[in-house]
Amino acid sequence: MTSTSGPVLLPRRTVVGYALGSVGTGGFGTLPGLVLAYYLTDTLGVAAGLASLVVTVPKLWDVLIDPLIGARSDVSAARHGSRRRFLLAGAVSIPLLFTALFATPTALTGPAAAGWVVVAFVAAATAFSVFQVPYIALPAEIAPDYDSRTRLLAPRIAVLAVAILAFGAGGPLVRDAAGGGRTGYAVMGVVGGLVIGLGMLAAWWGAPRRAGIAVPAATPVAPRPERRGDALRLGLTSLRELPAFRRLLATFVLQALATGAMLAGAQYVATYALGSEGAVTFLFAALVAPALLVMPLATRLSRRIGKRRALAGATTLFALAALSLLPMRWAPGEWVYLSVALAGLAYAGMQLYPLAMLPDVAAVDARERGVDRAGVLGGVWTAGETAGLALGPTLVLGMLAVTGFVSRTGDTLVVQPASALTGIVVAFSVLPAALALLSLLPLARYPLSEAVVDAPAVPSEETRS
């Protein structure tokens, strides 16, 4: 039965604070994804193969700790009525750790520099997860129905687009304005870390002191085991018991791989295909800025045809736009920005709809099973997302390694073999397109419509099929 009263109006402070949290999530997801691989290969002199391991190891760590953080945030929600303590802990610890990620000591190069970056990245990723996991869980608790969750998420995605644009375009500008090289990256790390921390503090400020309005009063929030092994079992249990969650997560991870590959390839395309390191700013603007224009339309589209169909359309458009970039290998030019902008229109929907569908899954789960485990679902989701965004650059670096890309330590560009130039373009076009199209397979079996999500508290066979 579909609700006829319309989306519930949420407090302005809650909506604004939650949206501003995307300054932190957008910044942390964007800068490492955009420049870390390039920083390793073209500033620290790390070979492409080793660099691929550097960007992968911290995300494998995330896969282990995110379910644990989610379970413990459920405990906090049960005991204190809120997940705000986790939001605050992540916000205050991230600035210094993010700075360290791009402040490799000058005495370190090659494998030694790679070791520094791995340790710093693991520490920063842990602090980020302490914030991100409960942040992802909040919409299921503060927005009580199908449409109000889209309304809550739409401003967040708009702010996320601004954050991605600001960090993606502004990060390299800060780096270059500070003189480039190690010094430029260190200054970029300081500025980026402070802004990320402020965004996270805004989410802590806006989060309700008492959460849980989306869960019926009779629904208990059971305390969770706090050992890592128990938390991992809880995450695996959620995947086994919730086909809707499993299919939505598979869709989102594949799309995170696609966008992660495109992000990581952008700097290489700018430098070696378009002939200018600074062109990465315009590539980023073309990819992200369209989201600001289409967000109101994307929200209305989901109300008209449903979130699943809207996401399928956005994904298909993204894949076609990415494939249209393949001729750049033989005919680079300004036309590239038009294709990237078309992908950017689709990217808005690929961000909005899955994040608006996740709290639907959590709410149906709480209604049917009698336990709120939004934190556990958020932990598994964050682990999948961060792994996807990290493995995207890993795939790009792996492709560069097998196609003969030559790393450098100075400012002078290295002449790349034709095979490496082809690998760069394929990694930026064919690879993300293939991953996006593959994500349509699990999406086609996602079962939760608006009628199921907003149905009375009676178990639905559709959610278990």
Residues 6 or more apart whose Cβ sits within 8 Å of residue 418: none
pLDDT tens for each residue of 271-316 = 888 888 888 778 878 887 787 777 778 888 888 888 899 999 999 9
Instruction: Please name the amino acid found at residue 179.
Output: G
Q: Is residue 131 part of a domain?
A: yes
C-alpha distances in angstroms, 78 versus 90, 188, 259, 360, 371? Answer: 20, 39, 35, 20, 11
Q: Is residue 430 part of a domain?
A: yes
The mean per-residue pLDDT over the stretch 424-440 comes to 95
User: Domain count of the chain?
Assistant: 1
Q: Is residue 3 part of a domain?
A: no
Q: Is residue 437 part of a domain?
A: yes
Q: Is residue 158 part of a domain?
A: yes
Cα 456 to chain center, whole Å? 32
Of 239-248, 309-318, 428-437, the least confident: 239-248
Q: Is residue 220 part of a domain?
A: no
What is residue 215's predicted lDDT score, i.e. its pLDDT?
43
Q: Is residue 414 part of a domain?
A: yes
Residue 339 has pLDDT above 80, yes or no: yes
The packing angle between helices 374-402 and 228-241, to 10°, is 90
* Whole-number average pLDDT of the chain: 83
Confidence of residue 230 (pLDDT cuts 50, 70, 90): low
Confidence of residue 393 (pLDDT cuts 50, 70, 90): confident
Distance CA 389, CA 261 (A): 8
Q: Is residue 130 part of a domain?
A: yes
pLDDT tens for each residue of 169-226 = 788 889 989 988 899 999 999 999 999 999 999 999 987 776 544 444 444 444 444 4
Residue span of the structural domain in which 283 resides: 12-211+238-464
Question: Nearest-CA neighbor of 270 among 193, 181, 168, 182?
Answer: 168
Q: Quote the tokens at residue 275.
A: 């002939």
Pair 436, 322: CB distance under 8 Å: yes
Distance CA 307, CA 302 (A): 5
Q: Quote the tokens at residue 377.
A: 């679902």
State the CATH number of the domain containing residue 29: 1.20.1250.20
